[in-house]
Structure 1
Amino acid sequence: MPVTDYQGSTSSPFSFGRSLLSLRRDTTAIMPSGEEADLEAFQRHVASTLAELLPAADAGAGDEFLSAAWIRRLLEAFVLCQEEFRVVVAQARRRAGAQLPVAAERMVAEFHERAVKALDVCNAARDGVDQVRRWERLADIAASALGAPGEVHEGQLRRARKALTDLSTLLVDDAAAASGAGGVASFLSSHRNRSFGRARASPSRTAVAGAAASASASHFRSLSWSVSRTWSAARQLQAIGAGLAAPRAHEAGLAAPVYSMGCVLHLTAWALVAAVPCPDRGNALQAHHLPAAPPRAAFPWAPPLLALQERLAEEGKRKDRRHSCGLLKEIHSLEKSTQKLAEAIDAAPIPLFGDRENDVREAAAELAAVCESMRDGLEPLERLVREVFHRIVRSRVDGLDSSMHNAD
């Protein structure tokens, strides 16, 4: 997402949980009460916004923790907090006569510089979503080949095997690039150069199938990342969190809001890296890449933020997710359903009949449902990642304009 893509639009195509109109009305309502009350209200707004992201026992399937819908809610929360922060800074400037004290202006500028470092994370996440979309297309080919009505013929099985072999190649490569091969990628890698264990396949036929799979996978891998080949999600998260420390007792004014936004930014970037394929995302999930924990008693938003961080860390340590290409719920479902279909095909006789045919059709239907869910979730998620990118760019431009105005 190059900066030149930004058209300067201030409107969002998304419907946020709390509209910006409501935000402006709430913010305006607290302004007459003074700067201290405004800053406290901002802290409470951040706390309530993060608390809404905590997993609920009665959450619907679409809002499950780390689902595409939940990641969108997290991104919306960041945009909302950033807009509130912009209003708080603007009000502080008006109170100070359009020019903040040097120390306050420096803190705001440091946050903008920190946010600019998240632009690479947005680019990598956008590429990761696009990669998942390529997995979905291959999985859908396999599911569609076996989901047609009527008898399942050998040609349909061959087409499904071919798509799953191409998918296995991508999963192995992406898992190795992110955090090391394992899980479903390790399972499917054993099928990379053979026709899912079919003993009747001749060597020449197997070689042709393997060569075709490699050529197809090479085509997909030719779509390069928009970030550098040496770019590391772990190092980028370290850069975003570098120097992020709670304000000292004598620091007042914008010190606390700036720190709050730095923590929300870091959480959002970390969750994006954890959820979708990103270079070096495996190392990024380690706890030492998080900044120092905010004092729970000092900030009302600290408890929900720390609870979200702890839950993310727990998900990354789960045995069935440790070697996944991403913690996104839809990715996990795709990996499990793909493995189930691969096993069903591998055990199926030709022609299919009885329980074996039912197993294959059931696995294909399950994978088709997962693919449909991914299609519904990935497109709005990618659009929202782009929106966050452009919001950060606009915020930085506004900050530079304010600095130039103050310098004059």
Structure 2
Amino acid sequence: MRATDNQGSFLNRISIRRNQVVSMDNSHEQELEDLDLFQKHVADRFNDLLLPPQTPPSAAAPDSPSSASPSSSLSSPPSLLSIAWFRNLLDAYLCCEAEFKAVLVMGRDPAQFAKPPLDRLIPDLLDRSVKALDICNAVTSGLELVHNWKKQAQIAVTALSQKPIGEGHVRRAKKALNTLLASMAYDDKENNNNHHGKSTDRNWSFGRRGNGGAVVKTGGAKWSVAKSWSAAKQIQAMMANLVAPRGGEPTGLALPVYIMSIVLVFVTWALVAGVPCQERTGLATHFPVQKQLVWAGPVIGLVEKIGEEWKKKEKKGCCGLLEEVQRMERVSLSLVEFAESFKFPMGDEAVDEVAVMVAEMAEVCRKMEEGLVPLQLQVREVFHRIVRSRAEVLDVLDQVGKVNTPVAY
């Protein structure tokens, strides 16, 4: 994957360069070069997410076996807001985060973190990371809900794949689809607390402790959040104080902190829009991004595209913008309509229509079966990466505190 290759060469280059003894001027020039390269990589990754490369028509002949197999989808670009697209999004985040940490921390003099504006920007970034952990947990819970929807859809597929289709098959499919649609229709506040009509408390790994501090879950201890917790408000809070740095900042590191903050907020915002999460009413659709920055174009383009989709769906009561969920809901409604007018025996035309709908639902279930668990694992990886990176930055801040502490004689 090109993004991963770029990341590896970038990190190796920084590691080698910072182990060398260089003059201050040369070091400053190289830091500027590293920053430019970091921005370019961010722009490339988000460009790929906005405009994925098209597969050449000659890559696979229409009649070839590979073009008809399920694995052929791996070579075609994923559509926006599909499970595969979200997996690419999280890959891009992990690559950006690794390069950002190299720019910010690797071989850095801790004293720089005590200078303006980093003395303000770093705590803000750490606070956003805590809020992002809650979002990761909410998204994980939402993906579990989507798993349950897939199970109901699979019941309907199995029932309606029988030949011939009888009244018993239709009743079984209709019951499963009505359960599925009823769950999708729940208010966002209830979606993740009522998987099967039973109220459950959401478990969280971080709680609040003054100044945006966090307490990590240890052993069997768990943190719960009130039902009033809102994913939309969490994203809004993450956007607070998110302002592009002015030119000529003293440390020169304000820009990468701003870039990584935008990347973190965008990724969590997209996940909240795509996956069922608690309370998403009023989810923001505008980001404070300066258009003249080299990486801003693709980010703004993605925000606009996803924001347009969100505005369309929000008015109807939204179960998330995940492409597979949207298709599942649409086909479920059509199949319920068929079930309500079902008469045995079915005519050939009705048989063909149902077969098309069942095939589409089976394809959606297949994509969910293949992609949901890997996506959940990636969300978990993002969670743990944020925890580790936050701890590393806190270690640097701790060093700054020790340096600035006067020695008692």
Query: So what's the TM-score if we normalise by structure 2?
Result: 0.77
Letter in 2 for 1:379: V
Letter in 2 for 1:315: E
Kept in 2, the 8 Å contact 1:30–1:37? The answer is no
Cα distance, 1:168 vs. partner? Answer: 2.0
Quote the sequence identity (%): 38
**Matching of residue 317 in structure 1 with residue 311 in structure 2:** yes
The correspondence for 2:335, drawn from 331, 334, 341, is 341
Q: 1:221 to 1:364 in 2, by over 3 A?
A: farther
RCO higher in structure (CA 8 A, sep ≥6) = 1
**Matching of residue 296 in structure 1 with residue 291 in structure 2:** yes
Root-mean-square deviation (CA), in Å? 2.6
Cα distance, 1:126 vs. partner? Answer: 0.8
Letter in 1 for 2:291: R
The correspondence for 2:87, drawn from 72, 93, 102, is 72
Q: 1:44 to 1:17 in 2, by over 3 A?
A: closer
Cα distance, 1:322 vs. partner? Answer: 5.3
**Matching of residue 278 in structure 1 with residue 277 in structure 2:** yes
**Matching of residue 369 in structure 1 with residue 384 in structure 2:** no
Kept in 2, the 8 Å contact 1:55–1:64? The answer is no
Letter in 1 for 2:33: A
1:100-115 alignment to 2 at 5 Å? 100-103=113-116, 104-115=118-129
**Matching of residue 233 in structure 1 with residue 231 in structure 2:** yes
Cα distance, 1:233 vs. partner? Answer: 1.2
Q: SS where residue 282 of structure 1 aligns?
A: coil
Letter in 2 for 1:72: R
Q: Which 5+ residue runs of structure 1 have no aligned equivalent?
A: 1-14, 179-216
**Matching of residue 40 in structure 1 with residue 21 in structure 2:** no
Q: SS where residue 185 of structure 2 aligns?
A: helix
> Cα deviation per residue 1:183-221 (whole Å; 9 max; x = unaligned)?
xxxxxxxxxxxxxxxxxxxxxxxxxxxxxxxxxx87354
Cα distance, 1:261 vs. partner? Answer: 0.7
1:26-105 alignment to 2 at 5 Å? 26-28=13-15, 33-56=29-52, 58=54, 63-91=78-106, 93=108, 96=109, 100-103=113-116, 104-105=118-119
Following the alignment from structure 1 to structure 2, what is the Cα–Cα distance between the partners of residues 57 and 35? 31
**Matching of residue 124 in structure 1 with residue 135 in structure 2:** no
> Cα deviation per residue 1:48-70 (whole Å; 9 max; x = unaligned)?
22222113483766611111111
Cα distance, 1:121 vs. partner? Answer: 0.8
Following the alignment from structure 2 to structure 1, what is the Cα–Cα distance between the partners of residues 151 and 48? 33
- Equivalent position of 2:217 in the other structure: none
**Matching of residue 219 in structure 1 with residue 191 in structure 2:** no
Q: Which 5+ residue runs of structure 2 have no aligned equivalent?
A: 19-26, 56-72, 204-224, 403-409
Kept in 2, the 8 Å contact 1:232–1:280? The answer is yes
Q: 1:23 to 1:341 in 2, by over 3 A?
A: farther
Q: 1:159 to 1:51 in 2, by over 3 A?
A: same
Kept in 1, the 8 Å contact 2:276–2:320? The answer is yes
Q: SS where residue 18 of structure 1 aligns?
A: helix
Cα distance, 1:92 vs. partner? Answer: 5.9
Following the alignment from structure 1 to structure 2, what is the Cα–Cα distance between the partners of residues 321 and 376? 31
Kept in 1, the 8 Å contact 2:105–2:393? The answer is no
Cα distance, 1:127 vs. partner? Answer: 0.9
Following the alignment from structure 1 to structure 2, what is the Cα–Cα distance between the partners of residues 237 and 23? 30
Q: SS where residue 325 of structure 1 aligns?
A: coil
Kept in 2, the 8 Å contact 1:154–1:351? The answer is no
Greater CA drift, 125-134 or 103-112: 103-112
> Cα deviation per residue 1:103-132 (whole Å; 9 max; x = unaligned)?
334422321221111111111111111111
Following the alignment from structure 2 to structure 1, what is the Cα–Cα distance between the partners of residues 382 and 110? 30
Greater CA drift, 15-24 or 376-385: 15-24
Letter in 2 for 1:158: R
> Cα deviation per residue 1:276-301 (whole Å; 9 max; x = unaligned)?
111222321x43xx442x2222x211
Following the alignment from structure 1 to structure 2, what is the Cα–Cα distance between the partners of residues 283 and 51? 27
Q: 1:303 to 1:153 in 2, by over 3 A?
A: same
Following the alignment from structure 1 to structure 2, what is the Cα–Cα distance between the partners of residues 176 and 109? 30
The correspondence for 1:21, drawn from 8, 16, 33, is 8
Kept in 2, the 8 Å contact 1:345–1:360? The answer is no
Following the alignment from structure 2 to structure 1, what is the Cα–Cα distance between the partners of residues 44 and 131? 26
Letter in 2 for 1:240: M
> Cα deviation per residue 1:206-245 (whole Å; 9 max; x = unaligned)?
xxxxxxxxxxx87354454334311111110111010000
The correspondence for 1:403, drawn from 397, 400, 403, is 397
Following the alignment from structure 2 to structure 1, what is the Cα–Cα distance between the partners of residues 248 and 107? 18
Cα distance, 1:336 vs. partner? Answer: 1.2
**Matching of residue 251 in structure 1 with residue 249 in structure 2:** yes
Greater CA drift, 377-386 or 152-161: 152-161
Following the alignment from structure 1 to structure 2, what is the Cα–Cα distance between the partners of residues 220 and 57? 43
Q: SS where residue 354 of structure 2 aligns?
A: helix
Following the alignment from structure 2 to structure 1, what is the Cα–Cα distance between the partners of residues 16 and 40? 15
Following the alignment from structure 1 to structure 2, what is the Cα–Cα distance between the partners of residues 263 and 99? 22
Cα distance, 1:269 vs. partner? Answer: 1.1
Kept in 1, the 8 Å contact 2:3–2:41? The answer is no
